[in-house]
Amino acid sequence: MLTKEYSLYLSPMKNKISEIPELQYAYIAFDLFPSSKGAATHIHHCLQALKGSFEYGALICIGDTHMPAVQFLSEEKLYIFRFKQQIVNFLERTNVFQNFVTQTLNLDCFHALQCIHFRDIWGALPSLSFKKKQVDVKLLYEVNAAAHIELPYRYPNISKSVLDTLHLQFGTALNHSDLIITPSIQISNFLQEQYAISTSKIVHIPNGMELHTPNNDFQADTPYVLYFGALQKWQGIKTLFIGFKECLDLDLRLRICASVPEKRCLVYIQMAEEMGIAHRIDWEFCLDKSNLASRIEQSLCTLAPLTDCTRNVIQGCNPLKVIESMGYGTPVIASDLPVLREIMQDGEHGLLVAADQPIYFGRTIRKMVTQPDKLIKIGKKCREFVTNNYLWDQQESKMKACYHKLQKTTTHA
């Protein structure tokens, strides 16, 4: 039964809802779509793979105030249901989102679903409940992170009881999923070691990348090294700053292309001032893909000084920025962690440095930028490596194989 709140959500398009055909799949994401963030790019390519495997489907996701609540993309045969409530408290927002997902899955057009693909615990729990009523539906869990490990970095005051609950829910979702895909071998190992998930149930599909045409209007006056992406604590920005301070005698600047607005970078802008390096840093915020491509392509090398922490080492991740940098032929200096060794080879695609060692990181920057011939040689290897292994069409093919596997088990059930 639909709640009063959900009925009000549907009321502007009530007649259209009744016209939706039977849907074969649903993709659930507690993420804004569309957007310029990496999550939205990943969602797009999963939807492309789903489009090639099923007929009609639905995306249940987050929407902003300017996006339609319900939208039909005719070419993709995709219906988008967006959760648009503006709720400040994160945990309250996730709870209300889960209710929204449950209500959406209760619509008549979802009664013949063959597959539900979700990428977080907030989509997993309603999907598990749905499966109790419709036992033939197959559940695919795309594990990029574990909420009980990620959230303390974002909300340091989150309670232990909440984290313990999320931990248990994560394990339940893993065990009741029919198939799990993950972008990192380290995450795969984490799931096997911590939750006893069988290797036969896990498929490793790395992040892919799209090459965008660089904006040729951009030309830097001074050589620079580049950091791009978000600035969470585990990214190692402090290590980067201390290391870069060791290079102030060089004709070299540090360019930071943050994927978040300036107001969310103020603590690091202030840190740079206090360290005496602000005059050598160029900040840019929320660049589009073409402008970011030009910054990556023209940099001497990019920097990924990830910290040695639970999030990066025990859980694991798949740093897309490293793949993107190599795709544009730009070498990478990164922390020597298992998640980096998965996707780059020391000396072949850049240089790996012991994590949380800023002085060594600075010396490695110096070593790299003072060898121009080596930069060109490594850059060519980087571009070739990504072209052969990490383009999105290659990852989409792997995703389609997963969906077809689930379809076969549904047919044989």
User: Where along the chain do its domains lie?
Assistant: 4-208+392-412, 224-389
User: How would you label 22-35 residue by residue, b for 16+ Cβ within 10 Å and e otherwise?
Assistant: ebbbbbbbbbbbee
DSSP three-state, residue 379:
helix
Q: By percentage, how much of the chain surpasses pLDDT 70?
A: 97
Under CATH, what is the fold of the domain 224-389?
Rossmann fold (3.40.50)
Are residues 327 and 383 in contact, defined by beta-carbon separation less than 8 angstroms? yes
Question: What pLDDT sits at residue 9?
Answer: 72
CB contact set of 23 (below 8 Å; sequence gap of 6+):
56, 57, 58, 79, 109, 110, 112, 113
Say if 4-208+392-412 and 224-389 have the same CATH topology.
Answer: yes
Report the mean per-residue pLDDT for the chain: 94
Q: By percentage, how much of the chain surpasses pLDDT 90?
A: 90
* Two structure tokens written together for 195: 């939750």
Question: What pLDDT sits at residue 24?
Answer: 97
Are residues 80 and 104 in contact, defined by beta-carbon separation less than 8 angstroms? no
Of 317, 314, 308, the residue nearest 358 (C-alpha) = 308
pLDDT in tens, 152-166: 999 999 999 999 999
Of 224, 226, 133, 142, the residue nearest 182 (C-alpha) = 142
User: How would you label 85-111 residue by residue, b for 16+ Cβ within 10 Å and e otherwise?
Assistant: eeeeeeeebbeebbebbbbbbbbebbe
Please determine, for residue 253, whether its predicted confidence score (pLDDT) is greater than 70: yes
Please determine, for residue 11, whether its predicted confidence score (pLDDT) is greater than 90: no
What single letter denotes the amino acid at residue 203? V
Please determine, for residue 34, whether its predicted confidence score (pLDDT) is greater than 60: yes
CA–CA gap between residue 280 and residue 223 (Å, rounded): 11
Are residues 197 and 178 in contact, defined by beta-carbon separation less than 8 angstroms? no
User: What top-level class would CATH report for the domain 4-208+392-412?
Assistant: alpha beta
Summarize the confidence of residues 186-206 as an average pLDDT: 96
CB contact set of 45 (below 8 Å; sequence gap of 6+):
208, 392, 395, 396, 399
CA–CA gap between residue 325 and residue 340 (Å, rounded): 13
Question: What pLDDT sits at residue 14?
Answer: 65
Question: What pLDDT sits at residue 35?
Answer: 87
- What is the number of other CB atoms lying within 10 angstroms of the CB of residue 181? 22
Summarize the confidence of residues 316-334 as an average pLDDT: 95
CB contact set of 4 (below 8 Å; sequence gap of 6+):
none
Q: How confident is the model at residue 39 (pLDDT cuts 50, 70, 90)?
A: confident
* Two structure tokens written together for 97: 């989102």
The structure's pTM equals 0.91
- What is the number of other CB atoms lying within 10 angstroms of the CB of residue 39? 17
DSSP three-state, residue 203:
strand
